[in-house]
Amino acid sequence: TENAEKLGIPQDRWIYVLGGAGTHEKDNFWQRRHLHHSEAITKSIDAALHVSGLAASDVDCYDFYSCFPIVPKLACDHVGLSTTSWQKPITLLGGLTSFGGAGNNYSMHAITAMARELRAKRHSTGLILANGGMLT
């Protein structure tokens, strides 16, 4: 808040980061318990929600990084969202295939897009999932 005040940002435009988390899958995917599940995704989401004091049902808007279609599907499954009827946004930028491909700094743009959504009051809470590597 101190930096926002120094920059002259009106208080009604402030966005608060409530928490974050990060985990890592085993590098050798053959050593993973399941190939159809990502412990890193579930642990990261659970930890971020925990430190934020939120439940998945409290989140209004998501941006799930989507290097491959399985990533947002696994994330949706974990937070209880349907992958066939969209009750809440799961991407703000259209996903990686609509964004220009890997190496284009997608997740930093997702943070900016989420801040815009929250400032516009279209949503009151958001969660961004940014995975890397092979579901890490």
Prediction pTM value: 0.88
Helix (H) or strand (E) holding 63: strand 61-64
pLDDT tens sequence across 14-70: 999 999 998 888 888 788 888 788 889 999 999 999 999 999 999 999 999 888 888
Any idea what the Cα angle at residue 128 is, between residues 72 and 60, rounded to 5°? 90
DSSP for 108-129, please give it. HHHHHHHHHHHHTTS-S-EEEE
pLDDT tens sequence across 91-128: 888 877 777 665 678 888 899 999 999 999 999 999 99
* Domains of the chain: residue spans and CATH: 2-24+35-129 (3.40.47.10)
**C-alpha–C-alpha distance, residues 134 and 136, integer Å:** 5
Tokens of 11: 């208080």
DSSP H stretches of helix in the chain: 2-7, 39-52, 70-79, 96-99, 106-119
Asked if residue 136 has pLDDT above 60, the reply is no
